[in-house]
Structure 1
């Protein structure tokens, strides 16, 4: 089945080489074998050209905040992909960069593959280092490079405007989503597929780049020799990869979804789906999440309500399912809308609305009740037990409870010298430790602290001005925190 044109675009003007030996899928963001539009398109092109299909999944060293935590999670995903592709109509080639000083990197590896490829297909990922990486390699490739959007249920490039509040994006989603629910990716793009087998990889590849030894890399000390940050420890309780994501997702569907509306904002029971790390690294698809939660209630299109932008009443489902769909289809896709339309400012203070910039400027000289440096914050060394617990959760588990992440950011803003410094600290701490950091949705959360996607609030307060005000005392009154605080008390 062909993918929609709205999900596909070419980034160079090179031709397809019909005499090439194979079609190459450069898997960089949608790192999964299922519900993957890019893999689906690559399979279709291989069938049309009657060529073998090669999947190249590289992991580079040269990215900011590279650490054992992220490398281990990604390599576990590679191990899961290797098992999923075993014996199927594809040649899978995992590569883990080991030394940027003496060996050519993954971009040179891609160029070597492309020398004998018909065309290259990759993931459309408008965030972190991906856009710059794609621009750089597109010039070097001798064949067409096409990107496929597997990120969002409604194609992220479909909207012709930037949405500045959730209500307006939600109305856009309500008006358009039914069309795209009928154009979901194939659950298994390789099911029943027969393609020619690639007998030998290009010598230009095998002579210079070794296939990753995933077993060795995942053994104790396997990452030790890589020049990455070894101080950010692996999260032993969270395994990366599509298989692990599926197990956790099945558990949530069976045990957590029914109470999602009641439990997700309570740290003591932590009723969130915990899918954000897997979504960020592409180990599971938002399309599958939406499909599965709707199927859990035997949903039918006739249940849809009016597209008026409200966060309840549109889907005709339980409040739990309604709330979950709003997180996936409104809040998550809102971040991609900003990222794809404003690549130069979606991840910085320039994305703030004018009222927020004005408020920040008006209170810039207000005296802060406390001032903390980055090291004090990183070590959870503040006077506030609730904030310290949230920071310890982030460091230890690679995630933070959603409500407490908002409080965490608000207090960093209150305890630092300026909005610029507070954003710098939030970005660093979040992206260094959070497994879902560096994502458009993650930046939405950080910048929401400073007014993005929010509105002006009154009365005006010192430091906060018109920004939404939050305190640990109000969190203690609103939330069940006893077990949470005991767990992360230090």
Structure 2
């Protein structure tokens, strides 16, 4: 008997019923783009096993999503190549579909739904995915289950949007232990005993062909013929679960031992560089936590009894491991919590009342410099350190963690209004960052405007919003090598 997933991770999207006469169970993979440590795949396998039906996995990639570019598309395609390799010989029919013309994929899900007993998909609280899932639920005539594989804490377990990391950490320390034993299976398809479906009907394959062979052979050239933003170039970082595990191995071996002390140093990056892989679902927080716990020789008995919201000491792990877990679990899942409860998560109006009040009180304050979006985008400001951070975003699809906060604060200071600053930050982050369009990166942007923070002493432009400067950053950290690396 296959292990069923926790009930609070499954959300019925529509009121349609299961079709017991269907030919297969369909897993519509849209956010958790991996075949291991995946609650949604595990749920689909369990349903197929119970119905004694084959399992079909549809992983489709449209080309008309906002900010679609060579950079983002190639990273996702790398993951599809990995999935195709991992599923060779598995008791499942994997159908990767890549839309080559806008709108060409329309009708594929509905056509596959006609032969399905039920459909399982990934629950994800941000970007266009909630709207897409709900619209699909209204159109489909068969049951659609959305499954949450986003973090250690189920989204539904948080009763409210928490105003600070401290408040959310207190909730985690009280409630997370009950969920830590509910891990997804490392390989949901192992020993599944599923019957197999050799191929889809030719009518489907003709209109929506399997992209496996072309993905594996064409490399970077695969995106050049697609209707994407070709100005946002492919970066060196390769997507997919295989690359994610290499990053994790390197981080645990080389960077974790000095993480707490050096994580804010731009000169030597000791971050995990896993944010993009988590965003695209190429790696699971559960897998990361399991690997870290094994390295720390950790067990549940080492959890602290306190629930005081402190950053260190509760996990019962080393200083470096706890510092990283605070980023991986507390801060990342705090962002998911906010998006789950607030559909206006990416709007100015979602800022705390005190933050909006102080920003609007100082909206007419004189700015020492003013830049428009194009000048920000092209890193044409007077500030060498800010320009270097923006060039890192342009070239690598990321900004060093500490400098990303400075990046946002300066955009606020050099924009005509706070609303204009927010629009610039969202546009540049979502266009160029591999982990843009994600609850976690949205948290970082809104933190620059007061979300999750407290009032600070009043000053011009910022009001009571926390202030940061390039001068103070250069005094606190060595930045010479960073400036040289990302010079114009």
- Displacement, 1:220? 4.7
SS of corresponding position for 2:402: helix
Structure 1 pair 225/216, CA: closer, same or farther in 2 (3 Å)?
farther
Change (3 A) 1:354 1:78: same
Stretches of structure 1 lacking an aligned partner (at least 5 in a row): none
2:91 to 83, 89, 92: 89
- CA drift of 1:218 comes to 3.6
Give 1:217 deviation, angstroms. Answer: 7.2
1:414-467 Cα deviation digits (max 9, x unpaired): 000001100000000000000000001111000000000000001x11001100
**Contact residue 75 and residue 214 of structure 1 kept, 8 A:** no
Aligned with residue 23 of structure 1, among 22, 25, 32: 25
- Tell me what 2:321 maps to: 321
1:287 is displaced (CA, Å) by: 1.1
Q: Return closer, same or farther for 1:3/1:216 CA change in 2, 3 Å cut-off.
A: closer
Residue 193 of structure 1 deviates from its aligned partner by 2.1
Q: Distance in 1 between matches of 2:479 and 2:66?
A: 34
2:203 and 2:346 map into 1 onto residues whose CA distance is 38
Deviation of 1:84 (Å) = 0.4
Quote the offset at 1:126 in angstroms. 1.0
Flag the 1:28–1:466 CA change in 2: closer, same or farther, 3 A: same
Q: Report the aligned-residue RMSD.
A: 1.1
Moved more, 399-408 or 183-192: 183-192
Map of 2:463 onto structure 1: 465
Mapping 1:190-269, distance limit 5 Å: 190-212=189-211, 213-215=213-215, 218-236=218-236, 238-269=237-268
Q: Which residue does 1:396 correspond to in 2?
A: 395
Deviating beyond 6 angstroms after TM superposition, the runs of 4 or more aligned structure 1 residues are none
Equivalent residue runs for 1:274-313 within 5 Å: 274-305=273-304, 306-313=306-313
- Compute the TM-score of the two structures, normalised by the length of structure 1: 0.97
Q: Within 5 Å, give how 1:38-437 maps onto structure 2.
A: 38-100=40-102, 103=104, 105=105, 107-212=106-211, 213-215=213-215, 218-236=218-236, 238-305=237-304, 306-343=306-343, 345-437=344-436
CA contact (8 A) 2:13 2:145 kept: yes
1:259–1:271 Cα contact (<8 Å) kept: yes
Cα distance in 1 for residues equivalent to 2:69 and 2:285: 26
- Structure 2 gaps, min length 5: none
Give the whole-Å Cα distance in 2 for the aligned partners of 1:455 and 1:425: 23
How far apart are the structure 1 equivalents of 2:359 and 2:295?
45
Partner SS, residue 222 of structure 1: helix
Maintained 8 Å contact 1:217/1:223? no
The CA distance in 2 between the partners of 1:190 and 1:262, in whole Å, is: 41
Q: CA deviation at 1:382?
A: 0.6
